[in-house]
Structures are given as structure tokens and as C-alpha cells.
Structure 1
Amino acid sequence: MSTLSEIVDSLENRIGELLKRHEILKNANVELAEELNVLQSKQQQFEDEIEAWTEKCNSLKLANSMLGSDQHKRETKLKINALVREIDQCITQLSE
């Protein structure tokens, strides 16, 4: 009978250790999930910032080319042509 009680005590100790490990891992998982959320929000902010800077850069290129710079003339002509096509489409839709 003493061996049976020793086995039960051993199992209780192991189960207790497993429960402690489980709790530690659960807490670590919660912390990692929170950190992931923070990093994802920062990533979204950075992506938004990159998009804003890209738009500003494109606007500056367009403005520079309109001021007479030869460097971006082709891009400006393409942009103007695209705008003219859009205006034509709007006029066509309004006249229907």
C-alpha cells in the first residue's frame, strides 16, 4: 500500500508542476498577444506614414514638372492626359 500512496503523491506533485507551467505559459501567451497588438498598430501607423510621404513626393514631382523642370515632363504629360480622359468620361456620363 505504501507504494500506491507514493505513486499518488508523485502524480500529485507532477500535476502540480504541470499546472504551474501551464499558468506561466498562459501568462506569457497573453503578454505576447498584447505585444503583437502593439506592434501591429505601430506597423499600420508606419504604413500610413509611408503612404502619406509617397503621396507628398508624387505631388512635389508633379509640381516640379509643372514649374518647367525637364526631368519629369513625361510624367506630367501622362498625368494631364489621364485627367483629361477622366473629365471626358464625366462629361459623357453627364450628357447621357
Structure 2
Amino acid sequence: MADKSVIVNLETHLRQLISDHRRLVGICAELTQQRDGLQAENRSLQERIKQQEAELSRMQLAEGLAGGGQNREKARARVNRLMREVDKCIALLGGPVQGLETVQEESKNE
């Protein structure tokens, strides 16, 4: 008789474990879906941040070129940096383009 009660007890525990396992598998699937959704939302928001930062940078450059103090200096520095980058690209392509040297010299004198 004692053996039978042990078997019944083990069977009860085993059924409970199986039930818990099924429940946890379901919870895991739900959480995985939530995680995937949040990751997609995060990627979308990160992309939006990049776009907003680029727009802010363009607006600051436009404002700086239009007038006003500190932003004007930032804009000038950015334009100069971009010109140096263009110069490097031209050098990599094999040398200066006709007429570009004159434009660059004039911009450096400003």
C-alpha cells in the first residue's frame, strides 16, 4: 500500500510539473512576442532620433549661414570641415578639378 501512495504522490507531482511547464512555455512565448515588438519599436525610435538630429543639424547650419553669432561660427566650421572632406575625396580621385582651386582660395580668404 505504501508503494501505491508513493506512486500516486509522484504522479500528482509529475502532473503538476507538466502543467507548470506548459504554463511557463505560454508565458515565455508571450514575453518573446513582447520583446520582439519592443525591439522593433526601439529600432524605429532610434531611426527617428537620427533623422531628428540630422534635421536639427541642417536647421542650425541654415540659421548659422543666415546670421547670428555662435551658430554662424559653427556653420562656418562645418562648411570648412566639409570642404576639407571634399578636397580629400578629390585627391583620392586623382587631383583637383579645373576651376575648383579658385573657389577654394576665395572661400579660405573670407
Q: TM-score, normalised by structure 2?
A: 0.80
Code of the aligned partner of 1:9? V
- Stretch deviating more after TM superposition (66-75 or 49-58): 66-75
**5+ long unaligned stretches in structure 1:** none
- The aligned residue for residue 50 of structure 1 is 49
CA distance in 1, matches of 2:6, 2:76: 86
Tell me the SS of whatever aligns to 2:42: helix
Spell out structure 1 runs of 4+ moving beyond 4 A: none
Cα deviation code 1:20-55 (max 9, x no counterpart): 011101110111011000011011111111111111
CA drift of 1:73 comes to: 1.5
CA distance in 1, matches of 2:38, 2:89: 43
Q: TM-score, normalised by structure 1?
A: 0.91
- The aligned residue for residue 68 of structure 1 is 67
**5+ long unaligned stretches in structure 2:** 96-110
Identity across the alignment (%)? 23
